[in-house]
């Protein structure tokens, strides 16, 4: 990892640690809980095992745990102690016990291969400085036939990286966003099929909240 990548990751970690008292997510000065609803995107089913990458305050993990029921399990992965503490408290307050919160980075998921049915993420993949590694890790931890349901910020193909950077900061989920074509190609390269990237609403000129779906071949 380059010095710049290390600095960006630390900047992201610091920002989201300070947000633990309010909320977690994207947009400069925006304390909303993400850029979409990945639990709905993923169409979770009873008994499934779900992993939320960049779980923040744990809201999507708690919602996932309710959807998969007592026979299922929901994992949340986050790199900040502050967010993990908040997430565990939120789960306890909600009376949810089929959740597990893990500390780690989304480029190196601390779970065995083929251990989850669904991977979700809410406006976090764009924060990674090594997105191919993230997509490879998603493919690794999914069981054959497993699926991806991600809400993210995605750029129109016409925008070069420097044009994306001009529209917002890295920690604000704008500068690091992939283009639609890059996202589709990255998922295909990681071995996924049935790949789709669907824009839902514009967040800046040429930048959109998007629903990203894919499936690991059986």
The two most distant CA atoms of the chain are separated, in Å, by 47
Cα 196 to Cα 209: distance, rounded to the nearest angstrom: 14
Length of the chain: 218
Whether the predicted pLDDT of 111 surpasses 50: yes
Whether the predicted pLDDT of 151 surpasses 60: yes
What pLDDT does residue 169 have? 60
Task: Output the average pLDDT for the chain.
Answer: 86
pLDDT band at 6 (very low <50, low <70, confident <90, very high): low
Contact residues for 130 (Cβ-Cβ < 8 A; gap 6+): 1, 5, 107
* Between 151 and 15, the higher pLDDT residue: 151
* Strand order from edge to edge, sheet including 99-103: 99-103, 73-78, 49-53, 116-122, 142-155, 207-215, 193-204
Domain 3-215 has CATH 3.40.50.150: yes
Q: What is the mean pLDDT of residues 171-176?
A: 64
Residue range 190-209, pLDDT digits in tens: 999 999 999 999 988 999 99
Token pair 């089929």 in the structure block, residue: 98
* Domain locations in the chain as residue ranges: 3-215
pLDDT band at 29 (very low <50, low <70, confident <90, very high): very low
Q: What is the mean pLDDT of residues 124-153?
A: 95
What pLDDT does residue 41 have? 76
DSSP structure string for the chain: --HHHHHHHHHHHHHHHHGGGT---SSTT--SS-SS-HHHHTT--TT-EEEEES-TTSHHHHHHHHHH-TTSEEEEEES-HHHHHHHHHHHHHTT--SEEEEESBTTB-SS-TT-EEEEEEES-GGG-S-HHHHHHHHHHHEEEEEEEEEEEEEE-TT--HHHHHTTS-TTTTSTTPPBHHHHHHHHHHTT-EEEEEEEEEEEETTEEEEEEEEE---
pLDDT band at 8 (very low <50, low <70, confident <90, very high): low
Token pair 């949810």 in the structure block, residue: 96
User: Quick check: 88 and 101 in contact, CB under 8 A?
Assistant: yes
pTM (two decimals):
0.85
What pLDDT does residue 23 have? 44
Whether the predicted pLDDT of 164 surpasses 90: no
Lowest mean pLDDT: which of 23-27, 109-113, 180-184? 23-27
Lowest mean pLDDT: which of 88-97, 108-117, 134-143, 168-177? 168-177
């Amino acid at each position: 990892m380059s010095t710049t990548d290390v600095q960006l990751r630390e900047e992201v970690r610091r920002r989201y640690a300070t947000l633990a008292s309010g909320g977690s997510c994207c947009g400069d000065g925006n304390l909303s809980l993400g850029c979409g609803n990945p639990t709905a995107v993923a169409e979770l089913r009873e008994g499934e095992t779900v992993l939320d990458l960049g779980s923040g305050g744990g809201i999507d993990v708690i919602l996932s745990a309710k959807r998969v029921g007592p026979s299922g399990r929901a994992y949340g992965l986050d790199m900040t102690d502050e967010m993990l503490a908040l997430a565990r408290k939120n789960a306890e307050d909600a009376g949810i016990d089929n959740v597990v919160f893990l500390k780690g980075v989304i480029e190196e998921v601390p779970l065995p291969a083929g251990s989850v049915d669904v991977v979700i993420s809410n406006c976090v993949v764009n924060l990674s400085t090594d997105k191919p590694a993230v997509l490879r890790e998603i493919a690794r931890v999914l069981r054959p036939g497993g699926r991806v349901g991600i809400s993210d910020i995605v750029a129109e193909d016409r925008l070069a990286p420097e044009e994306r950077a001009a529209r917002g900061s890295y920690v604000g989920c704008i500068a690091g966003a992939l283009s639609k074509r890059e996202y589709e190609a990255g998922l295909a390269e990681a071995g996924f099929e049935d790949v789709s990237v669907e824009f839902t609403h514009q967040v800046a000129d040429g930048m959109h909240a998007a629903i990203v779906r894919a499936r690991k071949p059986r």
